[in-house]
Amino acid sequence: MKIQTPDWVKHAVFYQIFPDRFAKSKQPRKRLLQNFMWEEWHEIPTLQGYKGGDLWGVMEQLDYLQDLGVNAIYFTPIFQSASNHRYHTHDYYQVDPMLGGNPAFKELLDAAHDRNIKVVLDGVFNHASRGFFFFHDILENGPHSPWLDWFKIEGWPLSAYDGSFPANYVGWDGNRALPVFNHDNPEVREYIMEIAEYWIKFGIDGWRLDVPFEIKTPGFWQEFRDRVKAINPEAYIVGEVWVDAREWLDGTQFDGVMNYLFAAPTIAFAAGDRVDMAQLEGRSYYPYPPLFAKEYGEKIQEVLDLYPWEIQLTQLNLLASHDTARLLSIAGGDRASVELATLLLLTYPGTPSIYYGDEVGLPGALDPDSRRGFPLQANWELDVLAYHKQLVALRHKYAALRTGSYQILFAEGTVYVFARILGDEEIVVAVNVATEKVDVSCEVAALKSVPDKLLFGKSEFAWKKLGETKELALSMQARSGLILGASD
């Protein structure tokens, strides 16, 4: 079977937005909530507080995103819910009125598409919430409800709120706020398929699927793919799977997963022993122990060997998300770690994802701290923004950085060097994670050309010809990286 994935994803740079925290509209809008006292934007977030970000606010920031080089947005859930993160879905057909409702989303979607920016939504289809109409009917009517078989009811009476009694129904991860759907019920299955179809027809460009591995019903995700792709063959389907995802990446289900298997070794290499272990508690990815270049290269090669190349090019690569601490905080505040990891992210096969605020130096410990309000411009780290823009621009300029093959040229000690090759276009990337300057030389047989233009970084380099082979001599500054390309 020939595996097919959406072509646009291979050329995308994603930006992940947590809608309550990214931007609040500054324009007069018709709002349902006029005078609510929101939680202070720049105070540390609480688990249950709302800061009042909305979709009009995102629309007003599209110039900023376009200037950054972003051409795809992944939103964490936007549907009506009783939580600031909106994973407790009340109504899958209504955008939360606090975000502006369906009209605001339509306006934003059209504005994004006018700029060739794609929009992917978060699909939370494993569980709903206590406020979801069908489950609420069970709470009101008990065994008389017609919706009993939509959930996994285990006994009576149900205790949806009082933790001193058993819930008597299955909640996701034992959480009684999140009743799990019975996906073996054909009506439930059809309901979820129709939601997926509805929003694809509405104009979204894909789905990011929350905990899809929890849905064990045979054929479920195959049908999901078939029905979504029948409406839009270029729709992107990406699953939240933190581990080896071969089971779902066989070409019949997802186009990619959130690539924590890339994030973990990349952070372990770039941040090394700076990693703050407290920020990894309870998370199923392992950016530790510290890695040297050789071990990093081996781990990256393992990840590249896991899936077909067509799937590699549509993996959603990331360094942080709403489910992790922010990279700056994981790295103990070390900015060089963030820059080195970002360089590796934006030169890696697959589609890179920037977590909102990381590009201006926003810190944040584990949830809810990693979901802070986007900082005021006066608090931006402008040098961090500058290198993000530079790296994103290079990725857009050079096709080899998007779809070229990935070849490790040198991986010893603290220095890691690789090439991205597409036809005659050859790009060399080198990183030194040491705290001192390092000089290395490596023979380069894999390249036809001699990339002799410094596209990024400040380190020194020289090419030497040794008979039939070429040698690249690098004088790498401490905690630095570089990108080399052909002279124009």
Say which CATH number the domain at 69 has: 3.20.20.80
Q: Which domain holds residue 453?
A: 402-485
CA 78, 83, 87 angle in degrees (round to 5)?
A: 55
For 456-470, write each residue's pLDDT tens digit: 999 999 999 887 789
Please state, for a pLDDT cut of 90, what percent of the chain lies above it: 95
Residues 314, 217, single domain; the answer is yes
The span from the CA of 68 to the CA of 359, in Å, is 9
Q: Residue 101 pLDDT more than 90?
A: yes
Answer whether residue 459 is part of any domain.
Answer: yes
Residues 224, 110, single domain; the answer is yes
Residues 328, 407, single domain; the answer is no
Half-sphere exposure of 279 (CA within 13 A, CB side): 24
Helix, strand, coil content of the chain in percent (nearest 5): 35, 20, 45
Answer whether residue 149 is part of any domain.
Answer: no
Residues 339, 481, single domain; the answer is no
Last residue of a domain, one of 397, 415, 439: 397
- Quote the radius of gyration of the chain (alpha carbons, Å): 24
Q: For position 402, what pLDDT does the model report?
A: 98
Among 364, 384, 360, 359, which Cα is nearest to 324's? 364
The secondary structure of residue 353, as a DSSP letter, is E
Answer whether residue 141 is part of any domain.
Answer: no
Handedness of CA 74, 75, 79, 82 (dihedral sign): positive
Residues 275, 315, single domain; the answer is yes
Lowest mean pLDDT across 157-161, 252-256, 444-448 = 444-448
Q: For position 116, what pLDDT does the model report?
A: 98
Answer whether residue 94 is part of any domain.
Answer: yes
Residues 13, 86, single domain; the answer is yes
For 35-53, write each residue's pLDDT tens digit: 788 999 999 999 999 999 9
Residues 384, 410, single domain; the answer is no
Q: For position 473, what pLDDT does the model report?
A: 96
The span from the CA of 37 to the CA of 34, in Å, is 9
Answer whether residue 145 is part of any domain.
Answer: no
The tally of domains found in the chain comes to 2
Q: For position 34, what pLDDT does the model report?
A: 76
CATH code for the domain in which residue 420 is found: 2.60.40.1180
Residues 252, 275, single domain; the answer is yes
Residues 270, 201, single domain; the answer is yes
Residues 415, 359, single domain; the answer is no
Answer whether residue 175 is part of any domain.
Answer: no
C-beta of residue 163 within 8 angstroms of C-beta of residue 177: no
Answer whether residue 157 is part of any domain.
Answer: no
The span from the CA of 122 to the CA of 322, in Å, is 12
Residues 369, 442, single domain; the answer is no
Catalytic residue numbers?
A: 210, 240
Q: Residue 31 pLDDT more than 90?
A: no
Q: Residue 8 pLDDT more than 80?
A: yes
For 358-382, write each residue's pLDDT tens digit: 999 999 999 999 999 999 999 999 9
The span from the CA of 106 to the CA of 55, in Å, is 10
